[in-house]
Amino acid sequence: MTERLTSFGRVLVVAPHPDDEVLGCGGTIARLGDEGCEVHVAVVTRGSLPEYDEATVARIRAEARASHAHLGVTQTHWLDQPAAKLGETPHSTLNGALQGIVREVRPDTLFIPFVGDVHLDHQLIFLSSLVAARPHQHEYPRRILAYETVSETNWNAPYVTPGFLPQVFVDIQNTLERKLEAMAMFASQVRPFPHERSIDALRALALVRGTRIHRSAAEAFVLVRDVL
């Protein structure tokens, strides 16, 4: 029997870039919303010239809004840090941005990218999320889970960087199709199979993760902290 997720309380999903939140935990977001939880998504970075013009940024944000509405996200927050340039950004600036959103949302559960992801933005956001969630504060997230992002988490160097070894699995057999539909709304980001950012690849990963817990589909997470 699958347990309800109401113990997650108020949830904040930290996404380095638009679509990471759907790739990593779209099915879980949909389940949380269905079960009455308040779910916030913080998109940390924004594309800028010369890589992204304003029309492209606006299109991706429109895709994100449609995708989040489909999943039942309560509110989307845009932190507007420079995409693919966080390595050149003062770490205190990124820390401040994450601390600000954690204080605003006051999440009980925090979903963050995995520290071993090959993308430097993901690594730095993982670290700044932990700074923002330090437990010496009056209020802090009791539960922190790191999600996997296809084409980032599994493209690192085995035995050199941390491997994604999940201990927490969320049954998404009833929300997998919503996750895939939400990802399809990111038309600018979806790629044809066999690219990992394809609908078929996401379905395959969910099926494989599901077999670990004898379910037809699941999302997997690394537990960073759980205060009971």
End-to-end CA distance of the chain: 22
C-alpha distances out from residue 108 to 11, 12, 73, 105, 141, Å = 6, 8, 16, 9, 5
Would you report the helix, strand and coil content of the chain in percent, each value rounded to 5? 40, 20, 40
3-state class of 168 per DSSP? strand
d(CA 68, CA 74): 8
Evaluate whether 31 touches 57 at the Cβ level (below 8 Å): no
d(CA 154, CA 147): 12
Predicted confidence at residue 1, as pLDDT, reads: 59
106 — phi, psi (to 5°)? 55, 60
Total-model pTM: 0.96
- pLDDT band (50, 70, 90) for residue 52: confident
Say yes or no to pLDDT of 53 above 80: yes
- Which whole number is the average pLDDT over 22-34? 98
For the segment 116-143, what is each residue's pLDDT rounded down to a tens digit? 999 999 999 999 999 999 999 999 999 9
- pLDDT band (50, 70, 90) for residue 51: confident
Taking alpha carbons only, the member of 2, 32, 157, 1 closest to residue 13 is: 32
Taking alpha carbons only, the member of 180, 186, 20 closest to residue 112 is: 20
The overall average pLDDT reported for the chain is 96
Structure letter (DSSP) for residue 6? G
Q: Note the maximum CA span of the chain.
A: 51
User: Rg (Cα) of the chain, in Å, rounded?
Assistant: 16
Predicted confidence at residue 151, as pLDDT, reads: 92
Evaluate whether 29 touches 21 at the Cβ level (below 8 Å): yes
For the segment 138-161, what is each residue's pLDDT rounded down to a tens digit? 999 999 999 999 999 999 888 889
Tokens matching residue 76: 């989307």
3-state class of 66 per DSSP? helix
The runs of H, that is alpha helices, within the chain are: 20-34, 54-71, 91-105, 120-132, 176-184, 199-211
Which residue matches tokens 């980032």? 152
- pLDDT band (50, 70, 90) for residue 106: very high
For the segment 75-98, what is each residue's pLDDT rounded down to a tens digit? 999 999 999 999 999 999 999 999
d(CA 135, CA 183): 34
Could you tell me the domains of the chain? 10-226 (3.40.50.10320)
**10: Cα within 13 Å, side-chain hemisphere:** 13
- Which whole number is the average pLDDT over 7-27? 98
- pLDDT band (50, 70, 90) for residue 6: very high
- Which whole number is the average pLDDT over 189-215? 97
Say yes or no to pLDDT of 47 above 80: yes
